[in-house]
Amino acid sequence: MVLRSSIILLMTLASVVFNTFNPGEPDLDKKEFFTLQAVVKFMDKVHYAPRSLDDEVSAYVFESFLEAIDPSKRFLTQEDIDQLDDFEFDIDDQIATGSFEFLDLSVALISQAIDRTANHFDELIAIDIDLHSEDSITIDPDTRGFAKDDERLKEYWRKLIQYETMVKVGSLKKSALKDEEPKDEATLIVEAKEDIKKNFTGWFARLKKLRRSDRFEDYLNVITSAYDPHSSYFSPREKESFDQEMYGTYEGIGARLMPEGELTKVTQIIPGGPAWKQQDLEVNDYIVMVAQDGAEAQDVRGWRQDDVIDLIRGKKGTKVVLTVKKKDGSLNEVTIVRDKVVLEEGNAKSLMLNLGEDYPEIGYILLPKFYFESGDKSGCAEDVGKEIKRLKDEGAQGLILDLRNNGGGSLSEVVDMSGLFFEKGPVVQVKSRDRKPYILRDQDASVQYNGPLIIMVNHMSASASEIIAAALQDYNRAVIVGSSSTFGKGTVQRFEELDRFVVGNNNLKPLGEVKITTQKFYRVNGGSTQLRGVTPDIILPMPYNHITIGEKEFETPLAWSEIEPVSYHRYTDDIDRENLKGKSSKRVAESDIFQLVRQRGESLKLEEEREGTHRLDIDTYQQMRAEREAKNKKYRDLFTPIDYLQVRNPASVLDYIALDNTRQANNEDFIKGVKKDIYIEETLRIMQDMISHP
């Protein structure tokens, strides 16, 4: 369709702002119209890299929205898609004119397709199941594509029911008690089919109850994601839930979730929360089923996110069992005891570590997030400064700052924290669109700590974590140790209230908010942390080193770029990084544990490539499952307490910890985790090399 410039679009939107409707009862059509136009206006006006509404955007929205409403390609057929083909390059025009023809027809087609598929399911679930078939099924929708017609879709569902039955029978065999008399396969098939029928019947019922507003929100999020993966629409209810999790307390498992297709994805583990302590739930896990302790699991595929959250949350002390899909495609059960999730539990804390009596003690600070000063609560820069003083007073001869799994946070705090380690100077460059970058500097000439420093990172160290790691790497002030790269999120977002767009028409409000990427971070050397992240000086084997993870996983990330460097002082610390790297590589090569970790990473890569097609033979399936579980167990069993690794609290915090039972339990978990952390052990050895032979 016709290419539209941003200027023309803004003129159109400006005229819409003042074209108000007469007050009256809320009107869905008008509300959708205003909400869409407000979203597009703010994206065009505020986004760091605005896009013209053209055929390229139209094609992206077309494909992505179909994926959003039928992510597993289980409902729509190619015949359905053909009815929508005329809209592929027309959606940009519809957005500009306020038309919803594509959305309307898509919603009608998916609704019809769900009804049709539910009828197929009712028919097919009654058919006899053969668990020793030569057939195979392709689960991966990207590989399988949409079924050509209804006949082929029905055949896919026949195989899917066969596959689900095979998986369920395998689970029933595994969970049978040892003293129980084994049930024959025919009986197990009957039991499995009853459970599957119940789960899928409930799933279809929930899908049929999806509101028009749910589909509309999907549509808006597809449009915002065309700009970049971090821009999104928040309905009033979603924003309220977001604020509660960001700033409040609640009882649950301590994980942030987001919908991705028909699944619910774990995007963050709250430091100090139940999931963080339990350690089996990980970022990028997908929640497939949820069971209350002792109750039957509910399949939550296709559920609304808020309904999944309501099911997972519960009273302190109760258990919830999550069936999660891991990165390698395996399904694992994770049992978590719910507790009160207090976000302040993620504050900085420290320990004194050493490798034995003949080694110097090293200070260790864990910082799970970059939290800001609020009321009478200090920010993380001040807290880290206090921990540094505490550790120095204890005689620490080196310092390790652990930023693994730290997803970022306050920009001002990371600037102040960086300044704890060098005299005043630039920390990061921040650039808005069409403007020169401005430099955020540490203005304090004092140095809190000037000794040997290591920063630990991994693939989930993002945003502010990458800023401090990049700055101290550029300054030659610290040695960075970790995974092959950090996350690669070099952008900042802000919320805009859409109600600002509509004059009057209070009966249509609230419209919600849009989160927009507005700025980009640049290192003091001019390079961006966007997409590429920070490459550590010393890379250790980690399970996800061989898998694409982080910003690179997204379809529409902003590109890496560079600008002019700024003047900064590069320290001449006389640290021979190549020597440190060589010694670490030799230890890693001689370590059985690290070699098994490396093998685990290579195995995950192979499993990721193979995931998608399965034989519909239960013997083959169980053998595959047994082999995968054996590998997982072998990997989990690697991490046992390291006998010679000595860990203690600084003496000055012992009385504070002793005042509260919960604090004591959290501290015990903290020390227990450090005691069996092979990455901390190797980082201590690198620090020993720095101190002994810089």
Task: List the CATH number of the domain containing 663.
Answer: 3.90.226.10
Pairing of strands 538-539, 479-482: parallel
Domain contains 519: no
Residues 315 and 357 in one domain: no
Domain contains 244: no
Distance CA 436, CA 44 (A): 19
Residues 421 and 555 in one domain: yes
Average pLDDT over residues 518-545: 94
Place of tokens 């100077």: 425
Distance CA 569, CA 511 (A): 49
CA distances to 167, 340, 436, 618, 619 from 170, rounded to whole Å, are 5, 35, 61, 7, 9
Domain contains 214: yes
Which pLDDT tens digit goes with each residue over 372-412? 887 778 899 999 999 999 999 999 999 999 999 999 989 99
Q: What is the pLDDT of residue 17?
A: 41
- Above pLDDT 90, what percent of the chain? 58
Which pLDDT tens digit goes with each residue over 430-451? 999 989 999 999 999 999 999 9
Domain that holds residue 187: 52-225
Residues 377 and 481 in one domain: yes
Residues 335 and 361 in one domain: no
Q: What is the pLDDT of residue 21?
A: 40
Distance CA 681, CA 456 (A): 12
pTM of the model: 0.84
Place of tokens 């595929």: 301
Q: What is the pLDDT of residue 362?
A: 97
CATH code of the domain in which 283 resides: 2.30.42.10
Number of independent structural domains in the chain: 3
Residues 205 and 261 in one domain: no
Closest CA to 290 of 159, 354, 188, 199: 199
Domain contains 513: no
Residues 353 and 327 in one domain: no
Q: What is the pLDDT of residue 344?
A: 55
> Any alpha helices (H) in 229-371, and if so which ranges?
236-247, 274-278, 305-312
End position of a domain, from candidates 321, 342, 363: 342
Residues 6+ apart with CB under 8 A from 66: 76, 81, 84, 106
Q: Which helix (H) or strand (E) holds 437?
A: none
Q: Is 562 exposed, middle or buried (0-12, 13-18, 19+ CB in 10 A)?
A: exposed
Residues 634 and 688 in one domain: yes
Residues 280 and 359 in one domain: no
The distance from CA 570 to its chain's CA centroid, rounded to whole angstroms, is 34
Higher-pLDDT residue of 314 and 649 is 649
User: Any idea which of 61-65, 152-156, 617-621 has the lowest mean pLDDT?
Assistant: 617-621
Distance CA 512, CA 233 (A): 7
User: Any idea which of 284-293, 398-407, 562-571 has the lowest mean pLDDT?
Assistant: 284-293
The answer to whether the bond into 271 is cis (omega within 30° of 0) is no
Distance CA 227, CA 233 (A): 12
Residues 483 and 351 in one domain: yes
Using the predicted structure, report yes or no on whether residue 178 has a pLDDT greater than 80. no
Distance CA 354, CA 98 (A): 65
Q: What is the pLDDT of residue 22?
A: 41
- The answer to whether residues 581 and 540 touch, using CB atoms and an 8 Å cutoff, is no
- The answer to whether residues 547 and 603 touch, using CB atoms and an 8 Å cutoff, is no
Q: Which pair of tokens denotes residue 653?
A: 């915090």
Residues 188 and 264 in one domain: no
Q: Which helix (H) or strand (E) holds 209?
A: none
Q: What is the pLDDT of residue 11?
A: 31
| Strand ranges (E), 503-608 | 513-522, 538-539
- Above pLDDT 70, what percent of the chain? 92
Give 3-state DSSP helix, strand, coil % of the chain, rounded to 5.
45, 20, 35
Q: What is the pLDDT of residue 610?
A: 61
Distance CA 78, CA 58 (A): 19
Using the predicted structure, report yes or no on whether residue 341 has a pLDDT greater than 70. yes
Q: What is the pLDDT of residue 25?
A: 41
